[in-house]
């Protein structure tokens, strides 16, 4: 289209090259005991669009940090001040508020080298010798704010990544239908439980639970009615076992493994009986349809005497499975162990 005239071209280039205002939404804390110097610095920053908080000395700055610390994006501090010097103030902010990436720029009169080293050891990001040019102050703030902003973005990305990792991890160990653990988790976690059991010499009990004539549920009311029964079954199990300690995982289609750590045979039997009764005593509602089911349970307990030899998890589950078969053979709605 129409060619640019020189003035327009320069304006366009200027627009492109002009960086996004770094000060946008940023807050500075200016700590300086000399009120004239403080007002000058504050004025420069306000002109650049920063929100400015002021403190007369390190101690006051520290108090402001305590209350509004999270809002502060850059600190400009004098070195020598009553009550608390700039280096002590800087160190305390870094350490007590865990703000390792916060830009802290120290204003000093012509410093000697040991003083400078002290200032950097206290954790300041940069220093500026007084009197300084406005442009230099702004240039340094701009550089540090840019790095700060990038560091913030990185932190946010890492947090988001952690969250999505946690979601993926949860999905990978959860049975999507019932929300209990899946077989992935079962294999890995049972191994850990057994190691702990061995270390502390406490018993552990395993219960394999299988719904009776579950095929009939599917055949009579449909597959999604069957799904609702599975969900209810897991709910009843979770309501019956101890929270935090006991856990349940889906072992197969309608078979669930319940792990009862630190539980001997007698207690496990009582718990499983309670569970059997709870299942048999409840009617599961599928829409208008009341569905009654029972379940059979195979129980096996590993007591401290057995723990000297290593017990593969599948052998333990096999033992529970054997008793489950016995419970089925003996008429269902039973606990065998």
Cβ distance to Mg ion smaller for residue 255 or 306 = 255
Of 247-286, which residues contact Mg ion (CB under 5 A)? 255
- Which CB sits closer to Mg ion, 33 or 303? 33
Long-range contacts of 143-147 (CB under 8 A, 24+ apart): 144/74, 144/103, 144/105, 145/22, 145/23, 145/26, 145/73, 145/74, 145/103, 146/22, 147/101, 147/103
Query: Are 313 and 244 within 8 A, CB to CB?
Result: no
User: Of 60, 210, 246, 321, which lies in the binding site for Mg ion, with binding defined by CB under 5 A?
Assistant: 210
Quick one: 247 or 251, whose CB is closer to ligand GH3? 251
In whole angstroms, how close is the CB of 222 to ligand GH3 at the nearest point? 8
Residue 174 or 218 with smaller CB distance to ligand GH3: 218
User: Between β-strands 204-211 and 255-261, what pairing exists: parallel, antiparallel or unpaired?
Assistant: antiparallel
Residue among 49 and 222 whose Cβ is closer to ligand GH3: 222
Q: How many Cα atoms sit within 13 Å of 197 on the Cβ side?
A: 29
Strands 27-31 and 74-78: parallel
Q: Is residue 336 within the footprint of Mg ion (CB under 5 A)? A: no
User: Which backbone phi and psi does 257 adopt, to 5 degrees?
Assistant: -105, 125
Query: Per the residue annotation, which of 11, 254, 273, 289 is the catalytic one?
Result: 254
Q: How far is the CB of 217 from ligand GH3 (least distance, A)?
A: 7
User: What is the DSSP annotation of 151-219?
Assistant: HHHHHHHHHHHHHHHHHHHHHHHB-TTT-SB-HHHHHHHHHHHHHHHHHHT--EEEEEEEETTHHHHHH
Task: Tell me which of Mg ion, ligand GH3, none is bound by residue 33, counting a contact when its beta carbon lies within the kind-specific cut-off of 5 to 8 angstroms.
Answer: Mg ion
* Of the candidate residues 78, 87, 246, 321, the single one contacting Mg ion (CB under 5 A): 78
Looking at residue 301, what DSSP letter applies? E
User: Is 297 one of the binding residues for Mg ion (CB under 5 A)?
Assistant: no
Q: Interface with Mg ion includes 148 (CB under 5 A)?
A: no
Q: Taking the complex as a whole, how short is the minimal distance between the CB of residue 316 and ligand GH3, in angstroms?
A: 21
At its nearest, how many Å lie between Mg ion and the CB of residue 254? Answer: 5
* 61 contact choice in Mg ion, ligand GH3, none (CB below 5 to 8 Å, kind-dependent): none
User: Using CA atoms, how far apart are residues 233 and 226, in angstroms rounded to an integer?
Assistant: 10
Q: Annotated catalytic, 32?
A: no
| In the block, residue with structure tokens 């913030």 | 152
Residue 297: CB minimum distance to Mg ion, A: 12
Partner from Mg ion, ligand GH3, none binding residue 264, C-beta < 5-8 Å depending on class: none
Residue 52 to residues 20, 131, 170, 259: CA-CA distances in angstroms? 19, 21, 44, 59
Residues that bind Mg ion (CB under 5 A): 27, 33, 78, 80-81, 210-211, 214, 255
Query: Could you give the residue numbers annotated as active site?
Result: 254
């Amino acid at each position: 289209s129409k060619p640019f005239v020189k003035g327009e071209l320069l304006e366009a280039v200027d627009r492109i090259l002009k960086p996004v205002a770094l000060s946008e939404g940023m807050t500075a804390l200016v700590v300086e005991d000399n009120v004239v110097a403080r007002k000058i610095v504050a004025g420069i920053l306000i002109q650049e669009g920063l929100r400015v908080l002021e403190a007369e000395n390190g101690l006051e700055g520290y108090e402001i940090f305590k209350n509004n610390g999270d809002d502060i994006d850059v600190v400009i501090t004098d070195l020598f001040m009553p009550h608390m010097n700039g280096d002590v103030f800087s160190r305390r902010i870094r350490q007590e508020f865990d703000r390792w990436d916060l830009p802290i720029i120290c204003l000093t009169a012509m410093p000697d080298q040991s003083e400078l080293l002290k200032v950097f050891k206290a954790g300041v990001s940069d220093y500026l010798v007084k009197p300084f040019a406005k442009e230099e102050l702004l240039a340094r703030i701009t550089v540090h704010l840019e790095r700060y902003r990038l560091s913030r973005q990185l932190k946010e990305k890492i947090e988001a990544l952690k969250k999505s990792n946690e979601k993926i991890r949860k999905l990978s160990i959860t049975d999507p239908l019932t929300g209990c653990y899946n077989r992935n988790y079962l294999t890995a976690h049972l191994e850990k439980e057994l190691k702990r059991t061995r270390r502390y010499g406490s018993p552990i009990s395993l219960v394999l639970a299988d719904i009776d004539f579950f095929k009939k549920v599917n055949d009579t009311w449909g597959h999604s009615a069957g799904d609702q029964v599975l969900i209810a079954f897991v709910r009843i199990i979770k309501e019956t076992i101890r929270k935090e300690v006991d856990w349940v995982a889906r072992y197969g289609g309608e078979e669930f493994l319940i792990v009862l750590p630190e539980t001997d045979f007698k207690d496990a039997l009582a718990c499983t009986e309670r569970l059997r009764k709870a299942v048999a005593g409840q009617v599961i509602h599928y829409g208008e349809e009341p569905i009654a089911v029972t379940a059979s349970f195979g129980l096996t307990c590993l007591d401290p005497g057995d723990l000297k030899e290593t017990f593969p998890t599948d052998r333990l589950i096999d033992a529970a499975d054997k008793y489950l078969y016995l419970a089925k053979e003996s008429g269902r709605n039973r606990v065998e162990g």
